[in-house]
Amino acid sequence: MHIFIFPNLDKRNCEKTVRFACDFLSAHGAKIYMSEEYEKSFCDIKAVQFMEESLCAEKCDIIIAIGGDGTILSASSLACEHKKKLLGINCGRLGFMATLEHDELHLLNNLLDGNYHTEKRHMLDVVIQKKDNSKRISVLNDIVISKSERTKIADFMVRKSDCCVSHLRADGLIFSTPTGATAYSLSAGGPILEPDMECFEFTPICPHTLMSRTMIFSKNTSLEVSFESFEGNEQSLCIIADGNELGTLDISDRVYISMSDKFIELIDIRGGNFFMSVTNKLMRPLKSPEE
């Protein structure tokens, strides 16, 4: 088995977890790859081959992301592009998308034995249309359109074909997959969706109305987002994909959102289920940074 270790060394316990995982996996015959940017940190681990990140993803059978949910999101683009299965090991505080905690690495035996199942997580396709160019991206969690620091509030129009879905004033909008429903959308009042559902949701951020609620759309829906006015002159909005800011939107720009044919396969190595994670991770206080 060929495994690409994708770490986030900013996370507490990550380096220790990477070392244990490398030793454990190599002792059981696995070949380990890691991005060359980590060679200085792990040059003493003889079992690791260091190379360019996309080459690691191309050569491996499985990607193991070691960090938090942000680390798993970062690895998901490589997993999707190269059609590789993805396993998350949590060294962060929540780690909702992770299968294992950093102190459960003995369960990596299940990975080597093929004793696991996978969950298919669909993505969203997003097209950002500007006057002179367009950009297409895919996201696993969500796309967020929000006011910048200088913008007070904005008028949004959301359309499906020629039909107005929502016309509202708000601080912003969140469009999320079922995977992302337990992230920012949940904090903004959106519902929890089972991750294998073929749909996506739209949740407004601080809408200036008593009647605005989350809407859920079928997999064949395509939405267009436009902006009617900003309070103040020469204001703009921010667009953020899976936590990464892509730039700003002007009043003439359009954003098109639809469910993607692209997906990743998340490995469930422990045999838990989605609602167990909801109970254990969303219905209790967060772990302290020291844990």
More reliable by pLDDT, 273 or 106: 106
pLDDT tens-place string over residues 56-68: 999 999 999 999 9
Closest C-alpha to 266, from 109, 66, 129, 64: 64
pLDDT for 233 beyond 60: no
| Predicted pLDDT at 92 | 75
What mean pLDDT value characterizes the chain? 90
| Predicted pLDDT at 203 | 97
- Determine the average pLDDT of the residues in 260-276: 85
138 pLDDT band, cuts 50/70/90, is very high
Q: How many CB atoms lie within 10 A of CB 55?
A: 14
Q: How many CB atoms lie within 10 A of CB 194?
A: 12
- Determine the average pLDDT of the residues in 112-136: 93
The C-alpha angle with vertex 231 and arms to 226 and 232, in degrees rounded to 5, equals 120
Percent of the chain at pLDDT > 70 equals 93
- Determine the average pLDDT of the residues in 13-41: 95
123-262 matches 2-116+269-282 in CATH topology: no
pLDDT tens-place string over residues 146-195: 987 766 788 999 999 989 999 999 999 999 999 999 999 999 999 999 99
Q: Do 144 and 243 contact (CB within 8 A), yes or no? A: no
| Predicted pLDDT at 217 | 97
Tell me which range, 118-127, 142-151, 221-230, 243-252, is most confidently predicted by mean pLDDT.
Answer: 118-127
Tell me, which fold does domain 123-262 have in CATH? Tumour Suppressor Smad4 (2.60.200)
Active-site annotation, residues: 69
Q: Do 95 and 68 contact (CB within 8 A), yes or no? A: yes
What is the domain partition of the chain in residue ranges?
2-116+269-282, 123-262
| Predicted pLDDT at 289 | 52
Tell me, which fold does domain 2-116+269-282 have in CATH? Rossmann fold (3.40.50)
pLDDT for 232 beyond 60: no
Distance of CA 276 to the CA centre of its chain: 20
Q: Judge residue 281's burial from the number of C-beta atoms within 10 Å of its C-beta, 0-12 exposed, 13-18 middle, 19 or more buried.
A: middle
| Predicted pLDDT at 277 | 75
Per-residue buried b or exposed e for 216-245, using 16+ beta carbons within 10 Å of the residue's own CB: bbeeebebbbbbeebeeeebbbbbbbbeee
Side chain identity, residue 228: E
Q: Do 62 and 110 contact (CB within 8 A), yes or no? A: no
Question: Phi and psi dihedrals of 110, rounded to 5?
Answer: -65, -35
The C-alpha angle with vertex 185 and arms to 182 and 187, in degrees rounded to 5, equals 80
**Quick one: CA torsion of 4, 51, 262, 279, rounded to 10 degrees?**
30
pLDDT for 94 beyond 60: yes
| Predicted pLDDT at 228 | 79
More reliable by pLDDT, 261 or 162: 261
